[in-house]
Amino acid sequence: MSKGGIPQVVDNHGAADFSRLMTVPQSEDLIDQAFRKGRKAQAPKGAPGEAGKNRELARVGAASRTFESRLHRVIRSFPNLDELHPFYHELVDVLVSVDDVKQHLGAVSWARSRIQSIRSDIEKRIRAAENNHEIMLARKEAYGRMASIVTDISDDLAELAKIRYELAGIPTLRIDQPTLVIAGYPNVGKSSLLTEITRATPQIAVYPFTTKGVHIGHRDHRHHQVQILDTPGILDRPMDERNPIEQQAILALRHAADTILFLLDPSGHCGYPLDAQTNLLNEVKTLFEDTTILTVENKSDLETTGEHPAISVTENEGLEAITENALDAAVDAFNERWQPF
Ligand SMILES: Nc1nc2c(ncn2[C@@H]2O[C@H](COP(=O)(O)OP(=O)(O)O)[C@@H](O)[C@H]2O)c(=O)[nH]1
Ligand SMILES: [Mg+2]
């Protein structure tokens, strides 16, 4: 949390944690809240005869400042989309459209500045008022105009509330940490490998592009914490079987993956022949042309081709050497890519 209790969404060089987005308040609640503050506002002691003015000035000030600060908080609680790392930018765009978010936030920002200018208008009028009737009228007008502006943006606030829920589904992947992605057909041993090399139960993050969760494990290596990802539903079958959203998820992953460990199962025990697996490997190579890809054969206890390094996760054969290589490659690639700005 940052100052003032506003959740900081973009905390680290464009890395985002959308799970901490605040709930977006709705128009009616905002209006109730602001006018309640207005009613409770205490006027400062002033010259005799100024009591009426001071009381209404305090009310208008309290109500409008409540609107202003609550709306400001809504704006600040969303990531600055222009500063967002490309990984999150793509994910946000596929889920909710960056243009829509900008438009709704623009409306909130408009409302906030309108309320500010109403406040200064009305404050002038109250100060210049000649009698109590004028003072009351000015305050009532202020309330009416502020409420109608906040009512005008009720659709935007409602949309932002929905968007907030969509964004909460984006995994809290750290863009500022080296990332190793395990890919390969189902049942080749990806999850077993992840569990084995991270020696802890991986976190499971809800990922909006697949019904299965993304598994994230961690391992310290050369003073870095490396994230290791198993992404079921994402890099485990031919690309032409994917819908546009899954394709977009793959594009997003390109910005996050420092190294890919591609697992083959030459035994076919997984249920897919080796040439189908090799085709997927070639597709992944084409899509991730700038990413280091280590190809490894698993289930060496059953069969190997001799063409790639081989491991057996269940027999714990060759695991440490391969893991060290993969972590090295991920840290190297991360050091190349990561330029904090
Ligand atoms: N014989 C053998 N079986 C393995 C090995 N690694 C994983 N398996 C088995 O392969 C099956 C699928 O493994 P899993 O990790 O769920 O694969 P995933 O779908 O790629 O995540 C499980 O029954 C594992 O026990 C291995 O090295 N040798
Ligand atoms: Mg699995």
Please indicate, yes or no, if residue 317 is contained in any of the structural domains: yes
Are the C-beta atoms of residues 185 and 281 closer than 8 Å to each other? no
Please indicate, yes or no, if residue 173 is contained in any of the structural domains: no
Residue nearest to atom 24 of ligand 1 (CA): 189
Task: Calculate how far, in angstroms, residue 134's C-alpha sits from the geometric centre of ligand 2.
Answer: 72
Does position 36 have pLDDT exceeding 90, yes or no? yes
Please indicate, yes or no, if residue 174 is contained in any of the structural domains: no
Domain stops at, among 143, 167, 191: 167
Tens of pLDDT along 113-122? 999 999 999 9
Which position has the higher pLDDT, 274 or 256?
274
Q: What is the pTM of this model?
A: 0.69
Averaged over 255-266, what is the pLDDT? 94
Does position 152 have pLDDT exceeding 70, yes or no? yes
pLDDT for the residue 206: 56
Averaged over 191-198, what is the pLDDT? 91
Question: Which two three-digit tokens encode residue 121?
Answer: 């208008």
Q: Do 24 and 163 sit in the same domain of this protein?
A: yes
Domain stops at, among 167, 189, 215: 167
Q: Do 187 and 99 sit in the same domain of this protein?
A: no
**pLDDT over 70 for what percent of the chain?**
87
pLDDT for the residue 246: 75
Does position 12 have pLDDT exceeding 80, yes or no? no
Q: Do 161 and 192 sit in the same domain of this protein?
A: no
Does position 279 have pLDDT exceeding 70, yes or no? yes
Other beta carbons within 10 Å of 336: 10
Q: Do 98 and 142 sit in the same domain of this protein?
A: yes
Per the prediction, the chain carries an average pLDDT of: 87
pLDDT for the residue 83: 80
Q: Do 306 and 204 sit in the same domain of this protein?
A: yes
pLDDT for the residue 252: 75
Does position 47 have pLDDT exceeding 80, yes or no? no
Does position 72 have pLDDT exceeding 70, yes or no? yes
Averaged over 201-215, what is the pLDDT? 62
Is any ligand 1 atom within 6 A of the Cβ of residue 277?
Answer: no
Please indicate, yes or no, if residue 124 is contained in any of the structural domains: yes
Is any ligand 1 atom within 6 A of the Cβ of residue 247?
Answer: no
The number of the ligand 1 atom at minimal distance from the alpha carbon of 313 is: 27
Task: Calculate how far, in angstroms, residue 204's C-alpha sits from the geometric centre of ligand 2.
Answer: 12
**pLDDT-derived band of residue 11, with 50, 70 and 90 as boundaries?**
very low
pLDDT for the residue 4: 33
- Substitution candidate for ligand 1 out of 192, 204, 281 with most atoms within 8 A of CB: 192
Does position 170 have pLDDT exceeding 80, yes or no? no
Is any ligand 1 atom within 6 A of the Cβ of residue 312?
Answer: yes
Q: Which ligand is nearest to the CA of 186?
A: 1
Is any ligand 1 atom within 6 A of the Cβ of residue 266?
Answer: no
Q: How many structural domains does the chain have?
A: 2
Q: Do 66 and 204 sit in the same domain of this protein?
A: no
Report the CATH number at residue 288: 3.40.50.300
Report the CATH number at residue 13: 1.20.120.1190
Q: Do 134 and 229 sit in the same domain of this protein?
A: no
Please indicate, yes or no, if residue 76 is contained in any of the structural domains: yes
Domain stops at, among 111, 145, 167: 167
Q: Which ligand is nearest to the CA of 190?
A: 1
Is any ligand 1 atom within 6 A of the Cβ of residue 302?
Answer: yes
User: Domain range holding 289?
Assistant: 179-337
